[in-house]
Amino acid sequence: MPTQLVDKYGRIHDYLRISVTDRCNLRCVYCMPEEGMTFEPDHRILRYEEITEVVKALAPLGVRKLRITGGEPLVRKGLDRLIAMLSAIPGIEDIALSTNGIYLAAFAPALKEAGLTRVNISLDSLVPERYARITGGGDVSKVLKGLQASRLAGFHPIKLNVVLMKGVNDDEVESFLRMTLEQPIHIRFIEYMPVGYEGAGWKAGYMPLTHVLETCERLGLPYTATREVYGNGPAESYRLEGAAGTFGLIHPVSDHFCGSCNRLRLTADGNIKPCLYWADEYQVRKHIGDPAAIAALFMKALDAKPETHEMARALSGERMSHAPTLRRMSQIGG
């Protein structure tokens, strides 16, 4: 039985992203297709007890950090129960949640008490009408209430994830940057990724994150790079002069961070995904109850993990070495 989750490129994997549902209360343009989706039936979704057994098998192999994702994880009932189960596993040190924040105000205290460590909130616009268009009818005021509730509950750090889209929200970079001046929050600008797209339509919305630093220069907002690490993400972090928070750039397309990738993914329907972008998946459910078999399957998935996801090739239209996934982001968990 292995003692660490190490792939053939020497990358040590100590971080598991766990999707608990493919359902969501929003319909974000980059996450779900405009025509809608067919969701997995309940019997195909891993039960909390099954998820816990998978993590119990991986903790002795060095998995220390977990992130709960969806769809929208807070649409699944009793999520605090899962958090409590996972936080009780020896070796698990950090449990984060990725959420759209709509329901966060109601659940933040219970999640904190159950053992949740941190929250990441998706927030692609501060303009109510625009936010509603991006998300298919979401109410940005509810997200801002969820942000406030998270601060009151004692979560730290709190990150806001902003997918930057050309001609959609690229004019709001200044507003997000100025949020960090007064609030101890951490804005993460993320490049628009081609996950789940057969065609090239996503390219129209793609914008490299050099736009963020160019905005700082244009506005005369001095900033410095910071070595402060908040969580497990691959962001390049910066701080505006005198700011309470930071801003970061996550650019998987223009400047991938595959060489230091430490993460694996478990989909809501029980598939291990060694790489977000590629189609390779390994069904773990049949092995639950056998920790050695679970560990062996994760090692098999790691052995198939490529050196890089090649999203930049998708942008330039070059031929790729693997088949990209056709699962949308909401079906994978991001």
Query: Do 97 and 76 contact (CB within 8 A), yes or no?
Result: no
Lowest mean pLDDT among 169-183, 249-263, 309-323: 309-323
Q: Give the burial class of 321: count Cβ atoms within 10 A of its Cβ; 0-12 exposed, 13-18 middle, 19 or more buried.
A: exposed
User: At 204, is the pLDDT very low, low, confident or very high (cuts 50, 70, 90)?
Assistant: confident
Structure-token pair, residue 280: 């390779």
Q: The whole model's pTM is what?
A: 0.89
Q: Name every residue whose Cβ is closer than 8 Å to that of residue 238 and which is 6 or more positions away in sequence.
A: 213, 223, 224, 225, 226, 246, 247, 248, 249
Tell whether the model's pLDDT for residue 45 goes beyond 90.
Answer: yes
Three-state DSSP state, 159 = strand
Structure-token pair, residue 284: 């773990």
Specify the pLDDT at position 317.
58
Specify the pLDDT at position 321.
56
Q: 263-298: per-residue pLDDT in tens?
A: 899 999 999 998 876 778 899 999 999 999 999 999
Residue range 30-45: mean pLDDT, rounded:
83
Residue range 203-221: mean pLDDT, rounded:
91
Hey, how many other C-beta atoms are within 10 angstroms of the C-beta on 22?
24
**Complete domains list, the chain, with CATH:** 15-332 (3.20.20.70)
Q: What is the dihedral of CA 39, 42, 46, 50, to 10 degrees?
A: 170
- Which residue type, as a one-letter code, is found at position 132? A
Q: Give the burial class of 49: count Cβ atoms within 10 A of its Cβ; 0-12 exposed, 13-18 middle, 19 or more buried.
A: exposed
Bridge partners of 161, per DSSP, are: 122, 188
Query: Do 159 and 121 contact (CB within 8 A), yes or no?
Result: yes
User: At 330, is the pLDDT very low, low, confident or very high (cuts 50, 70, 90)?
Assistant: low
What is the C-alpha to C-alpha distance for residues 267 and 18, in angstroms, rounded to an integer? Answer: 6
Q: Are strands 263-266 and 271-273 parallel, antiparallel or unpaired?
A: antiparallel
User: At 309, is the pLDDT very low, low, confident or very high (cuts 50, 70, 90)?
Assistant: low
User: At 261, is the pLDDT very low, low, confident or very high (cuts 50, 70, 90)?
Assistant: confident
Hey, how many other C-beta atoms are within 10 angstroms of the C-beta on 264?
23
Number of H helices, E strands in the chain: 10, 12
Angle of CA points 264, 30, 239, to nearest 5° = 70
Tell whether the model's pLDDT for residue 202 goes beyond 70.
Answer: no
- Which residue type, as a one-letter code, is found at position 73? P
What is the C-alpha to C-alpha distance for residues 21 and 39, in angstroms, rounded to an integer? Answer: 9
- Cα–Cα nearest to 301, from 264, 262, 256, 257: 264
CA distances to 158, 177, 222, 256, 263 from 228, in Å: 14, 17, 18, 20, 20
Lowest mean pLDDT among 29-38, 127-136, 160-169, 306-315: 306-315
Bridge partners of 225, per DSSP, are: 238
Query: Do 121 and 147 contact (CB within 8 A), yes or no?
Result: yes
Hey, how many other C-beta atoms are within 10 angstroms of the C-beta on 103?
18
Query: Do 212 and 162 contact (CB within 8 A), yes or no?
Result: no
Bridge partners of 247, per DSSP, are: 187, 238
